[in-house]
Amino acid sequence: MSALTFKIEARAAQHGRAGVLTTPHGSIRTPAFVPVGTKANVKGILPSQMLALGAQAVLANTYHLYLQPGETIVKRAGGLGEFMRWPGPTMTDSGGFQVFSLGAAFGKTISKFTAGETPEEEAVAIYDESVASQHGQLAVIDDEGVTFTSHLDGSLHRFTPERSVEIQHALGADLFFAFDECTSPVEPYAYQREAMDRTHRWAARSLTAHRQDLDANKKQAIFGIVQGGRYEDLRRESAREIASLGFDGIGIGGSFSKEDMRGALQAAVEELPVELPRHFLGIGEPGDLLEGIMQGMDLFDCVASTRIGRHGSVYTRRGIIHLKSERYRDDFSPIDPSYAAPGTEGFTRAYVAHLIRSKEMLGSQICSMHNIGFILALVDGARQALLEGRFDAYRSDFIRDYYG
Q: What's the average pLDDT block by block, 10 residues per block, for the chain (404 residues)?
A: 90 91 98 97 96 98 96 98 98 87 54 42 50 75 91 92 98 97 85 94 98 94 94 95 98 74 88 96 94 96 95 97 97 97 97 98 98 98 97 97 94
Catalytic residue among 93, 128, 174, 336: 93
Active site includes 330?
Answer: no
- Alpha-carbon torsion (291, 293, 294, 297), positive or negative: positive
Pick the CATH number of 5-304 from 3.20.20.105, 3.40.50.2300, 2.40.50.140, 3.40.630.30: 3.20.20.105
Bridge partner residues of 92 (DSSP)? 60, 176
> How many Å apart are CA 189 and CA 335, to the nearest integer?
44
Catalytic residue among 180, 298, 301, 336: 301
> How many Å apart are CA 224 and CA 211, to the nearest integer?
13
User: What pTM did the predictor assign?
Assistant: 0.92
**pLDDT at residue 104 in the model:** 57
> How many Å apart are CA 121 and CA 294, to the nearest integer?
20
Active site includes 301?
Answer: yes
Q: Are 231 and 257 in contact (CB under 8 A)?
A: no
The structural domains of the chain, with segments of one domain joined by +, span 5-304
**pLDDT at residue 110 in the model:** 44
